[in-house]
Structure 1
Amino acid sequence: MPLVSVLMSSYNHEAYLPIAIESVLNQTFKDFELIILDDASSDHSKEVIRYYSKRDPRIRAYFHKKNRGIARTMNDLLAKANGKYVATFASDDVWAKNKLEKQMAVLKENDNLVVWTEGEVIDKNGNPTGELFTHIHGAAKKKKKSGWILNELLEGNFICSQSVLVKRKNIVRIGYDERLKYVNDYKLMLDLAAKYEFYFIPEPLTQYRIHGRNTIISKRKELRREELIISQYVLEKYGKDMSPKTMSRVYFNMAHAYLTLGNRLESARFTLRGFLLDPISVASLKSIASCVLGERLSAALRSVYHKTKP
């Protein structure tokens, strides 16, 4: 039985599948199985997967007859995993050869850790954009990323979920929320962070691809609606333990989501609630600016400020 089960979800990524699959097969750590589940792709992804699965016995390939969505796909993958640990992986991303080796070295010391790595952002052609995953999440680069990090995550997700390696039984206990289409990985990270310590490897051992077919990028308003669901979940489940500063960030996130959805009244209401909890923060000023000026104008002014800042 393999020590690690690599779980790869696949949907309409025929152009990226070969390099994704090969980046797993070429790992310096060898004791793994690769389980690929295609979620009823309409391109030639199935043919690519079958090609590789016939040539490497470490690959087990499965195919949904109907599109079930990413959360259902990941839960089905978890049910098929045999390894003590599972690593989650998207079919358009890439791993460094020594990713699993470095993570397993950490887990040998404490097998209950959730081990994740920095991600290097690449474009559709595989070229690095010069950005790191944690840096594209604003203040996330300044946050604590190892240890008990629930409070940091409550303010917003900054975990590169495609980089995570975790004990299988720990993630199976929680699972993916199939009601959520776009932010189920964030909810999973929150619930893991409530139960287990995280360990961050700052080396970018995962390449995170941004392209026009990224589900989250192409569905902005739907994403904001689910962010509101997550924010309500956070307030209900973890609100009693939040600091005023953390709760204010949750309110500002909700204000931003409502503004994107065109509901200025609700945006103003949650901006005010956040401001009253943390009136002198930069986040308060940003949220007020967005509410008064509108999201696009506020973002444009912030961009000009950062470009002219010495």
Structure 2
Amino acid sequence: MVEQPLVSVIMPVYNSEQFVGKAIQSVQKQTYSNWELVITDDCSKDKTVPYIKQYINKDKRIKLFELKNNSGAAVARNTCLDRATGRFIAFLDSDDLWHAEKLDKQVKFMLAHDFAFTFTGYDFIGHTNKVISVPEKINFQGMLKNTIIGTLTVMIDKRQTGTFYMPLVKRGQDLLTWALLLKKIPYAYGLNESLSSYRVVKGSLSNNKIKAIKRTWHNYYYELQLGFFKTLYYFVFYVFNALKKHYS
């Protein structure tokens, strides 16, 4: 029997006691068993840490690291990435969920085609009919035009991409990371099947559309240094496709 490559699951947490247990359980329920769950707590003020430790006591595949100062999601994710030992890197935030066959299907998809970067479709918790479908593949320019790559669906083969980290920007570091990776590799490939469930949390950063629009302009213009006209070009497509995704 061929040994399963190790998948490192990256999970930043902050004041997550309400949902983190369900997120951890969705990893434990995976039909693919060779994973490690690397969690970094960003100085939670609630019972997140003792709650996670209850899971660690029963499952040694779960690892917890604690930041000394509240530093933001990018630092928390990068702390996880520093300590991840797997060939494959996957991302799951503490309020989202995976379907049981997510890792199994995505690893097989990547190995069968030797893909370095993949993403999948996903659905929304509490919205039974809303499903995000994904294209067969997308390049750097295509990614800038929309928000189709959901962080909770991403898997990276670090053997092909090499070590990578998320930029230390205040917000939108995940989408900026995918853009920077797609400057190095030609395409990210989509597995058009809903394998994850995204939770819309009222008042969350990702749920604030105005802030999302502002941070996207900032990241395109200042971080990726596209220049004014290219930023404007991609930004118009981004806004249109974001509205289409959320309201269609």
Does residue 39 (structure 1) correspond to residue 42 (structure 2)? The answer is yes
User: Aligned to 2:184, which of 188, 195, 211?
Assistant: 195
* Structure 1 runs, 4 residues or longer, greater than 4 Å off: 169-172
Separation in 2 of the partners of 1:204 and 1:47?
Answer: 32
Aligned to 1:250: 234
Alignment of 1:70-109 (within 5 A): 70-109=73-112
- Whole-Å Cα distance in 1 between the matches of residues 184 and 120 of structure 2? 19
Could you list the per-position Cα deviations for residues 120-153 of structure 1 after superposition, in whole angstroms to 9, with x for gaps in the alignment?
012xxxx22532245xxxxxx6xxx333422211
Q: 1:55 to 1:198 in 2, by over 3 A?
A: same
Letter in 2 for 1:25: Q
- Structure 1 match to 2:130: 131
Matched with 1:60 is: 63
State the one-letter code of the partner of 1:93: D
Gap regions ≥5 residues in structure 1: 135-140, 257-282, 284-298
Aligned to 2:141, which of 108, 128, 151? Answer: 151
Match of 2:221 among 232, 242, 245: 232
1:186 is aligned with what amino acid?
A: L
* 2:23–2:95 contact (8 Å) kept in structure 1: yes
Structure that is richer in strand per residue:
2
Q: CA deviation at 1:74?
A: 0.9
Please tell me whether the aligned partners of residues 2 and 82 of structure 1 are also in contact (alpha carbons under 8 angstroms). no
Say which of 138, 149, 157 aligns to 1:167. Answer: 157
Letter in 1 for 2:42: D
Identify, as 1 or 2, the structure richer in helix. 1
Shift of residue 217, structure 1, vs aligned partner: 2.2
Percent of residue pairs identical: 26
After superposition, the Cα gap between the structure-2 partners of 1:48 and 1:32, relative to the gap in structure 1 and judged at 3 Å, is same
Q: Give the counterpart letter for 1:61 in structure 2.
A: L
Instruction: Give 5+ residue unaligned stretches, structure 2.
Output: none
Rounded Cα–Cα distance in structure 1 between residues aligned with 2:235 and 2:81: 33
- 3-state DSSP of counterpart to 2:92: strand
Q: Which of 14, 27, 30 matches 2:30?
A: 27
TM-score (norm 1): 0.69
Higher relative contact order (CA 8 A, sep 6+): 2
The structure having more radius of gyration, on CA atoms, is 1
Aligned to 1:205: 195
State how far apart, in whole Å, the 1-side matches of 2:87 and 2:49 are. Answer: 28
Indicate the residue corresponding to 1:215 in structure 2: 205
Q: Which residue in the other structure is 2:172 paired with?
A: 183
Contact 2:12 2:73 in 1 (8 A): yes
Alpha-carbon RMSD across the aligned residues, in angstroms, is 2.9
The Cα shift of 1:80 comes to 0.2
Shift of 1:75: 0.8
* Aligned residue type for 1:232: Y
1:14-69 C-alpha deviation (Å, 9 max, x unpaired) = 11111100100110011111111111111211121111011101111111222110
When residues 80 and 251 of structure 1 are mapped into structure 2, their CA distance, relative to the original with a 3 A threshold, is: closer
Instruction: Encode CA deviations 1:230-273: one digit per residue, 9 max, x unaligned.
Output: 22147735x7xxxx9x765425379x7xxxxxxxxxxxxxxxxx
Q: Which amino acid aligns with 2:109?
A: V
